[in-house]
Amino acid sequence: MLLPVVAAVALFTGAASAAPQPSFTGEQLVGTLSDDFWEPTTTADPHSSYVYQAVTAIGSHECTNHNCPGTSIKVRASSDGGGSWGPLVFVCGTACKNVGWQFDPQLAVASDGTVYAAWLNTFNPGTVLSKSFDHGKTWTAPVTMNGDLSYNDKPTLVISPSGRDVYLTFDDKTDDYSVASHDYGASFSAPVQTNSDAYEYLSYGGTIAPNGTVYFAQTGEPKSGAGDEPVSLVRSADGGTTWTRTTIDTSAEPPVCTFKGCYADFYSSQATIASDSSGKLVFAYLKSTVDGGPKSLHVRTSANGTNWSAPVLVNARGDSDMPAIAAGPAAGDFRLVWQDNRNGVNAWNTWYARTTNGGATWSAAVRLSNLGSGAPYKTTAGCTFPFGDYGGLAVDSTGTNFAVWGEGDGICTGGGTGGSWWTRGR
């Protein structure tokens, strides 16, 4: 489907009037330096002060006796808006002792405080879902949703405010599939294929608009190998029965990751999306115009999910990666975090920007990864490597931001180590 474009919006960034000056508490480590915590994510309860973080715990220390997966999903909760945190809890530890490994955590909170967690229990059955009714202390047995698929990867989770409607999307090496539940995640529809072209699609963010329309932001990788990557949006207005795909933009072939053990698509383009209370959508994505060149961060906006603005440039410094976006309490208020290496090839940092006018202009970037020491992979310029495939951002009902991201010295599957870091602020 070709993208309808409304009147052009001028490329503009760094407007001091776009948002109030932010203030953050400074980055803090999730766990300890002896923990290799990969792929962090976060969510905030919309009606209380509870905040949650999840990580992929590489080589969990507690699993040396083989009573849980060696690489496990752990969640921790804060009841006071990030002021203090409870212990990291296995979402499925001893109950999943026969599962080889777990990756790719996703979190969401319903209006009644129920916490939803999705992740991979290896590639087969792949994506599973559990819930917690006691603020992450205990979790229900995981529910599978792979249907006839024997492989799936890269899940993205969104839920309706009540939690009754649960949607996930994932890929099976060659195509993208989505599933839906309308009984609070107790059961799921058969996977529905959402593409029929020459690309494998990977999702990095999703949202449900106030009218119930579901959106997943994705980027495509050519099934035949190297080549341009379509930046795509897949949506459903009928509860996940049918899906429509729209190409928003196209990125050139991504830079090559040269770290030992790094997989070819680590620096591929990524996309994410958020919806505010009025139904305004902001789609954030990474784009390179030259094969192997650095990616810039752009946003497009829409009032209906069909007609999209021209791109607004948010960042063109260094190679941008790992974007995450969330809507604030007021209409037109969106917050965005990402990582880039503007300070040097091996000097990655996490940055924050905000808009209060629906994405037309954005504040100047604020560096969140502000510690120049405290881990062997950190310097005053930044960390050696963006540890993990993505980070997370949540905004609570008071407008406080909770950002979490990875820092390390290489790819975890290639012998690299690192940790998850977070901060909060307004």
Mean pLDDT for the chain overall:
94
Torsion of CA 382, 385, 388, 389, to 10 degrees: 100
DSSP string, 141-186: PPEE--TT-S--EEEEEEE-TTSS-EEEEEE-SS-EEEEEESSTTS
Residue-wise pLDDT tens digits, 153-179? 999 999 999 999 999 999 999 999 999
Report residue 2's pLDDT band, with 50, 70 and 90 as the boundaries. Answer: very low
Instruction: Please state, in angstroms and rounded to a whole number, the distance separating the CA atoms of residues 209 and 86.
Output: 32
Residue (of 139, 131, 138, 185) closest to 160 by Cα position: 185
Residue 189 has pLDDT above 80, yes or no: yes
Q: Cα separation of 76 and 51, whole Å?
A: 9
pLDDT per residue as tens digits for the range 27-68: 999 999 999 999 999 999 999 999 999 999 999 888 877 789
**What pLDDT is attached to residue 4?**
40
Neighbours of 326 (CB within 10 A): 26
pLDDT of residue 64: 76
Per-residue pLDDT, averaged over 13-23, amounts to 62
Determine contact, residues 26/423, Cβ cutoff 8 Å. Answer: yes
- Residue 259: predicted pLDDT: 85
* Residue 201: φ, ψ to 5°: -105, 135
Other Cβ atoms closer than 10 A to 54? 31
How high is the pLDDT of residue 21?
Answer: 81
What count of other Cβ atoms lies within 10 Å of the Cβ of residue 373?
8
| Separation CA 186–CA 286 (nearest Å) | 35
Cα four-point dihedral sign 323, 202, 106, 35: negative
For domain 1-30+194-414, the CATH architecture is 6 Propeller (2.120)
Specify the CATH number of the domain 37-191: 2.120.10.10
**What SS3 state is found at 155?**
strand
Q: How many CB atoms lie within 10 A of CB 103?
A: 22
At 117-128, the pLDDT tens digits run 999 999 999 999
The predicted structure's pLDDT at residue 224: 87
Section 62-87 average pLDDT: 93
CB burial of 244-278 (b: ≥16 within 10 Å; e: otherwise) equals ebbebbbbbbbbebebeebeeebbbbbbbbbbbee
Let me know if 345 is exposed, middle or buried by CB neighbors in 10 A (0-12, 13-18, 19+): exposed
402 forms bridges with which residues in the sheet? 394, 424
Say which residue, 254 or 19, is predicted with more confidence. 254
Check: CB of residue 326 under 8 Å from CB of residue 334: yes
- C-alpha triplet 177, 178, 183: angle, nearest 5°: 150
24, 416 in Cβ contact below 8 A?
Answer: no
Distance CA 52, CA 155 (A): 18
CA–CA gap between residue 371 and residue 368 (Å, rounded)? 9
| Mean pLDDT along residues 200-224 | 96
pLDDT at 24 over 70: yes
With cut-offs at 50, 70 and 90, classify the pLDDT of residue 90: very high
Of 284, 263, 305, 251, nearest to 352 by C-alpha is: 284
- Of 15-19, 177-181, 296-300, 370-374, the least confident: 15-19
Confidence band of 18 (pLDDT split at 50, 70, 90): low
Using CA atoms, how far apart are residues 423 and 113, in angstroms rounded to an integer? 22
Residue 106: count other Cβ atoms within 10 Å of its Cβ: 24
Q: Where in the chain is the domain with CATH 2.120.10.10?
A: 37-191
Residue linked to tokens 């040396």: 64
